[in-house]
Amino acid sequence: MAMTTTQTPPQDTAPTRRTGLRSWLGLLVVLGPVLLVSMDGSILFLAMPSLSQALAPSAGQALWILDGYGFAVGSLLIAFGNIGDRYGRLRLLMLGTAVFGLASAAAALAPTPELLIVFRVLMGVAGATLLPSALAVLSELFPDTRTRARAIGIFAATFAAGFAVGPVAGGLLLERFWWGSVFLVNLPVVALFLVVAPVLLGEVRAAGTGRVDVPSVAASAAGLLSTIYGLKHLAAEGFAVLPVASMAVGVALLGWFASRQRVLDEPLIDFSLFRDRVFTVAIITGLLPLAAWSAAAYLTGVYLQSVLDIGVLRAALLALPGAAVLTVTSVVVPAVVERLGKRRVLITGHFAVAAGLLALLATTVTGGIGWYIASTAVAGVGYGISFAVVADTAVGAVPAERAGAAGAIAETSNEIGNALGIAVLGSLAALVFRLQGPGLAPTLDETLKAGADAAATADAKAAFLTGLHLVAFTASALHLALGAAALRWLPKK
């Protein structure tokens, strides 16, 4: 879920000044909500078994709890970026942070899966206001180009680190507290930001900003949600008229959205950019690794706790090596790119993800911790590369005057990829479990909670593992194909 580090920032309305202590303190304050937004994209991956025991969500509800947040963020990023340009980034940042805190508190106390889904989506809406606004505010804090680049590098590394350590943080919290603690941890950071931000941060607006096309925003969000709703319910519950109709409506809305963008003077997504093969590879690279990461992190979290019967604290500690590799890689890759070039590094990333995912095929219902650690470490190299170079590659493939549009698409692809991993690949695993499981319940955790006998429990664990293996193999094959496409399409210089 890499941040777009090369977008052209809005024009600063504040007078030019030298970078000082206030600027660096302001950066530290901005990193707070950014870290929360990234962590909340992944913090539930190890928390789902505990949450499932408490709220007993259905298979479809569990998937919506996980990725309703990501879909809300990804669907609204560009729209809120335009709104912030027009009405003020700091104003939107303050409002979004306040709503994020209130939604977090409500999610922690949600008594039903339905309400938890609603509050997770509301958190995603607020998160969509935070990311572009926080990045733009840095232009006011750091007027010097070189210093601003350093600050944005710290910003991007913090975002990557938050997403990587989210599952670990969730596991550590659940060792001592109930599942709602993964949301309440947001509140101190939110409160501190709301108190300090008005003192350290200045307002930022962009000149000449056009209006936001509301029909496009509504069609893109409704189209994504309708399509994924149908896909999830078909996978978890089998054929029915409602999910098929939902998918048809969603596809129609997305088609109308795409056609509308071609006639707008200021489209939400400029599809003409995809005529460039390098740009297309970069955007797919922003989407696919995040899809693989989120699906693998969620499914392996269930595998460790519900198949191997490992406690949540130990599961969190086992996730640390992969998180560390991912974070370190995202920090050091820019220096490596200067020596080896983007093409070599990007292709290496695709093949590293593919190799890491294939290692999961060696896991069994009785063991496989070593293979799990190896998988997260090797694939973590690829994920870190994706975080670090996708935005630069996308922006570098288009003319300078279209850099902002390219960066916005790259950022959106990261968020949508995170949500699609759970939605599409998670639905594939759910389908396998429904077809091969003992038939007592649509998920492994529900089956175990239902008090299945030894034979049914063994069947359920085996079915879940088959689904995990199929997801790992599918995602690995897609990365191998993307790596081959990058070899052919990316220029050597």
Structure tokens at 62: 């569990």
The pLDDT of residue 352 is: 95
Q: What residues contact residue 481 under an 8 Å CB cut-off, 6+ apart? A: none
Query: Is there a contact between 67 and 423 (Cβ–Cβ < 8 Å)?
Result: yes
Q: What whole-number distance in Å separates Cα of residue 22 and Cα of residue 201? A: 9
Query: Is there a contact between 243 and 234 (Cβ–Cβ < 8 Å)?
Result: yes
146-165: pLDDT as tens digits: 676 677 667 777 777 787 78
This model's pTM is above 0.85: no
Query: Is there a contact between 479 and 343 (Cβ–Cβ < 8 Å)?
Result: no
The pLDDT of residue 262 is: 86
The pLDDT of residue 449 is: 80
The pLDDT of residue 40 is: 82
* Fold assignment, 18-201: Growth Hormone; Chain: A; (1.20.1250)
428-464: pLDDT as tens digits: 898 899 889 888 877 888 888 877 788 889 999 999 9
Q: How far is residue 249 CA from its own chain's centroid?
A: 25
* H helices present in 271-311, as ranges: 277-302
Query: Is there a contact between 307 and 461 (Cβ–Cβ < 8 Å)?
Result: yes
The pLDDT of residue 355 is: 96
DSSP one-letter code for 112: S
Q: What whole-number distance in Å separates Cα of residue 252 and Cα of residue 151? A: 42
Which listed CATH number (2.102.10.10, 3.30.930.10, 3.20.20.70, 1.20.1250.20) goes with 272-493? 1.20.1250.20
Give me the residue label for tokens 């968020």. 415
Query: Is there a contact between 473 and 358 (Cβ–Cβ < 8 Å)?
Result: yes
The pLDDT of residue 14 is: 41
Helices 403-420, 369-396: crossing angle, 10 deg rounding: 160
HSE, side-chain direction, 13 A CA sphere, residue 394: 36
| SS3 call for 157 | helix
Q: What whole-number distance in Å separates Cα of residue 38 and Cα of residue 191? A: 18
Q: What whole-number distance in Å separates Cα of residue 211 and Cα of residue 107? A: 33
Query: Is there a contact between 158 and 34 (Cβ–Cβ < 8 Å)?
Result: yes
The pLDDT of residue 469 is: 96
Q: Tens of pLDDT along the chain (493 residues)?
A: 444 444 444 444 444 445 677 788 888 888 888 888 888 877 887 788 888 888 888 777 887 888 788 778 777 777 776 677 666 777 888 888 999 999 999 999 999 999 999 999 999 888 888 777 776 677 677 777 667 667 766 777 777 778 778 888 888 888 788 888 889 988 998 999 999 888 877 665 555 455 677 888 888 878 887 888 888 777 767 778 888 999 899 999 999 998 998 888 778 777 888 888 888 888 898 889 988 988 998 899 899 989 999 988 888 889 889 888 988 888 888 788 878 888 888 899 999 999 999 999 999 999 899 999 999 999 999 988 887 777 677 767 777 656 556 666 777 787 778 778 887 888 889 889 988 988 887 788 888 887 778 888 999 999 999 999 999 999 999 999 999 988 888 777 6
Query: Is there a contact between 350 and 286 (Cβ–Cβ < 8 Å)?
Result: no
The pLDDT of residue 6 is: 40
Q: What whole-number distance in Å separates Cα of residue 157 and Cα of residue 149? A: 12
